[in-house]
Amino acid sequence: MNRICLSIVLVTLTALLDREIFVQADEGMWLPDAPPTKQLADRYKFTLTDAYRERAMKASIRLNNGGSGGFVSADGLLVTNHHVGAELVAKVSPKDRDYLKEGFYAKKRADELKCPDLEINVLQEIRDVTARVQKAIKPGLSDAEAAAARRAIIARIEKETSEKTGLRADVVTLYQGGKYHLYLYKRFTDIRLVFAPEQAAASFGGDVDNFEYPRFNLDVCFFRAYEDGKPVKPTHHFRWSEKGPVENDLVIVTGHPGTTNRLDTVAMLRHRRDVTLPYLLAHARFMESMLIQYSARGSGEARMAAKDLQRVANRRKVFAGQYQALLDPAIFAAKKQAEDAFRKSVKADENLKPSDDAWPRIEAAYKALAGFQKSYSLLETADGIDSRLFGFARRLVRLAAEKSKANAERLPEYSDARRPSFELSLFSPAPIYPELERLQLAGSLSFLAEHLGGTHPLVRKVMAGKSPADRAVELVNGTKLRDLAERKRLAEGGQKAIDESTDPMIVLAKLIDPEARNVRKRHEDEVEEVVRQSQAKIAGARFALLGTDVPPDATFTLRLAFGAVKGYGVDGEKLPFTTTFGGAFDKADKLENRDPFILPKRWHDRKAKLDLDTPFNFVSTADTIGGNSGSPVLNRTGELIGVNFDRNRHGLVRNFVYTDVQARHIAVHCQAVLEALRKLYPTESLVKELMGR
């Protein structure tokens, strides 16, 4: 058994049977209100104070496009990754400029560009509402009735809290139903672009180097948050470090990891391996191939497709890494052994023994899901009708239907508490490219027919007797939903306006909606609710045996992770914990400056000005995952020493298990940002703001 797999087996087994394991490993995406104080003290001799924790919470930012970031000045300046901000950079680029390609810097506040449909959330408070949610689920309710009761109480809590506080209120499910926490956020929607480097610098190495190390990426982007037309004055922000990380020392990463599956049962992991991941890989590969072909048509097409292609290629690599992890017999055996050991402990305790029926219930639910998951993905998540315009149509159709219901009875995304964020997306003025819409829609319609079958009744209705390409042309060319005023008219007109609409996208959304809602309800009642109830039992047993020393799976909410700055070995080669600017030029030269290893012209022109020994990217053992992109990396004093942007390929197993043998997160070094801003661009006023001068 290789070293990584052996480590995983030992850590997985011990983690469930011995809570002290966390003294010996850097595992954990920890809740900010339940931080790993003992682990940090024992392993790193570090005292995590309340002041440190409050600053980490209130200076950290969640972006609604799936990334993390942090405030870095008293005037609302915030940093995230370039790849998180790339879509926004593209949206604010005028027709005659490509800020993704050439970069952007606003020398004056008046030059900062407002981003359409971007929302950031800053966590202010966490409340435990577990008792109130669980009290609403009366004994004897069917799974469907329990699901409805849970949705109703969550909607009520969110609405009451939002109206009382003026904050965004989200009830978050933790431990798959073992706990429910209410997260209160300040919400900002006036976000303006301040600085973005050229994409060639931010994504040096492109897809070839994605999830690899050593890396040489200036993957940062700066924005500023405004409120009432003035820069936000955050209660806390991170000080930018001049020096950066020290090898082998502690770092703390504060961000919003998306989804992990470490507490999933073996049946859930088996389903993910055998059903979910093969489908997700097939979809990602299909879309990636289509976008690559489209990009090859010309520079204009490449520009339009760049963000979608980057997103799809990234998904494909993540899913491939997850698939390989679950195909590894050692990893699966470790999960099975850990589950068997845990269940044995549960059965041995008379008070916990009734919880043992949770595992077979979950297994039965996932066997049922295998029969309709493809329909759920194609119709409800719209993999089979991939189009921004169709997305608008579906939201308008459902908005009209949901608006007439009581708040507690609506689909969660249409509740009163979530309406502002919903409307921000629906009424976005961001440009839509009809040619790209036709391409993606035609491709996804082909994918729909391929996976449901060309003779499937719904497929025949959707195609309306036409080929995927012809149907896409008819739908995209015929819709008026590109017009913001038309979307607002339909939203304000309610059900009457939707009923009377002959817009082809609206008609298509109405056609699909009954079956999509049906498969969604099956998923919620037969799978989600069964698993939630069963996982709540498992969580209760886990709390009884282990306390809360095992953190919950990631939920795209704020977490604290910690680790040590250190390199690792691959195939007998020792990789250092940091790379340098000189290494970037060396790699570009070695690969003859071929795409994607082309540094921008300004880098070559100003190479002599640079200190080529300046650290560029660095790695640590901190526990991160997708969603952590843009996460601030902090030192012991709470200074920002880096901006997380990736994992290496060895870290792709972290969806299921933690290992620090070779797995690392990768961050942009704080000195690299300062060196680039001072000497390559230059942006002295931005540097002064970062340094608090």
- CA proximity to 356, closest of 534, 204, 524, 217: 534
619 beta partners: 666
Res 143: pLDDT: 93
567 and 651 share one domain: yes
Residues 685 and 558 in one domain: yes
Please compute the mean of the pLDDT values over residues 99-104 and round it to a whole number.
Answer: 96
Average pLDDT (334-338) is 93
| Rounded Cα–Cα distance for residues 413 and 424 (Å) | 13
Answer whether residue 597 is part of any domain. Answer: yes
Flag whether 433 is in a domain.
no
573 and 656 within one domain: yes
Q: What is the pLDDT of residues 580-600, one digit of tens each?
A: 999 999 999 999 999 999 999
pLDDT of residue 17: 37
Amino acid at 109: R
The residue among 571 and 693 whose pLDDT is bigger is 571
* Buried b or exposed e, range 199-235, using 16+ CB within 10 angstroms: bbbbbbbebebbbebbbbbbbbbbbbbbeeeebbebe
Query: Are the CB atoms for 21 and 11 separated by under 8 Å?
Result: yes
Residue 500 lies in a domain: no
Q: Could you say which of 318, 348, 378 is where a domain stops?
A: 348
CA distance 102 to 85: 15
pLDDT per residue over 614-653, tens digit each? 999 999 999 999 999 999 999 999 999 999 999 999 999 9
Confidence grade of residue 208 (pLDDT, cut at 50, 70, 90) = very high
Same domain, 676 and 582: yes
* Helix, strand, coil tally for the chain in percent (to 5): 55, 15, 30
- Domain membership flag for residue 413: no
Query: Are the CB atoms for 615 and 692 separated by under 8 Å?
Result: no
Biggest CA–CA distance in the chain, Å, is 75
Confidence at residue 306, expressed as pLDDT on a 0 to 100 scale: 86
Q: What is the pLDDT of residue 453?
A: 94
Average pLDDT over residues 157-172: 98
Token code pair at residue 631:
């996460």
Q: What is the CA radius of gyration of the chain?
A: 25
Write down the number of H helices and E strands in the chain: 27, 20
Domain boundary among 324, 348, 372: 348
Does the pLDDT at position 13 exceed 60?
no
Whole-number Å distance between alpha carbons of 345 and 173: 25
> Which tokens in the block code for residue 73?
């000045």
User: Are 275 and 242 in the same domain?
Assistant: no
Q: Are residues 245 and 295 in the same domain?
A: no
- For residue 31, pLDDT beyond 90: yes
Residue 386 has pLDDT above 90, yes or no: yes
Query: 78 near 48, Cβ under 8 Å?
Result: no
Q: How far apart are CA 473 and CA 31, in angstroms?
A: 48
Average the pLDDT over 125-154 and give the result.
Answer: 96
Return mean pLDDT, the chain: 94
Residue at 142 is within a domain: no
Task: Clarify whether residues 244 and 271 are in a common domain.
Answer: no
Backbone angles phi, psi at 65, to 5 degrees: -95, 10
Alpha carbons 503 and 538: distance in angstroms, whole number: 49
Classify residue 275: in a domain, yes or no. Answer: yes
Check pLDDT > 70 for residue 21: no
Is there a domain that residue 98 lies in?
no
Q: Which two tokens stand for residue 555?
A: 């939920």
Segment holding 311, helix H or strand E: helix 299-327
331 and 214 in one domain?
no
Q: What is the mean pLDDT of residues 156-184?
A: 97
Confidence category of residue 18, pLDDT binned at 50, 70, 90: very low
Cis bond upstream, residue 214 (ω within 30): yes
Q: Quick one: tokens of 548?
A: 């809360």
Average pLDDT value for residue range 135-150: 95
The interaxial angle of helices 529-546 and 329-348, nearest 10 deg, is: 70
- The answer to whether residue 670 scores a pLDDT higher than 80 is yes
Q: Could you tell me if 239 and 340 lie in one domain?
A: no
pLDDT at 549: 76
pLDDT number for residue 25: 67
State the pLDDT confidence band at 22, using cuts at 50, 70 and 90.
very low
| pLDDT of 205 | 97
The answer to whether the beta carbons of residues 337 and 13 sit under 8 Å apart is yes
% the chain with pLDDT above 70: 96
Q: What is the pLDDT of residue 292?
A: 95
Predicted confidence at residue 158, as pLDDT, reads: 98
245-281 residue pLDDT tens: 999 999 999 999 999 999 999 999 999 999 999 999 9
Which CATH number belongs to the domain containing residue 686 in this structure?
2.40.10.10
Domain count, the chain: 2
Bridge partners (DSSP) of residue 569 are 574
Residue 683 structural domain: 3-84+207-219+233-262+552-690
pLDDT surpasses 80 at 8: no
Positions of E strands within 91-238:
104-105, 113-114, 120-128, 168-174, 179-188, 190-196, 221-227, 230-231
Per-residue pLDDT at 5 exceeds 70:
no
Determine the average pLDDT of the residues in 495-509. Answer: 98
Of 323, 348, 373, which closes a domain?
A: 348
Say whether both 601 and 684 belong to one domain: yes
In a domain, 580, yes or no: yes
650 shares its domain with 600: yes
Residue with tokens 């000497």: 679
Is the Cβ–Cβ distance between 574 and 185 less than 8 Å?
no
Instruction: Judge if 337 and 240 occupy the same domain.
Output: no
Alpha helices by DSSP H, listed for 328-429, are: 329-348, 358-369, 373-375, 388-403, 419-426
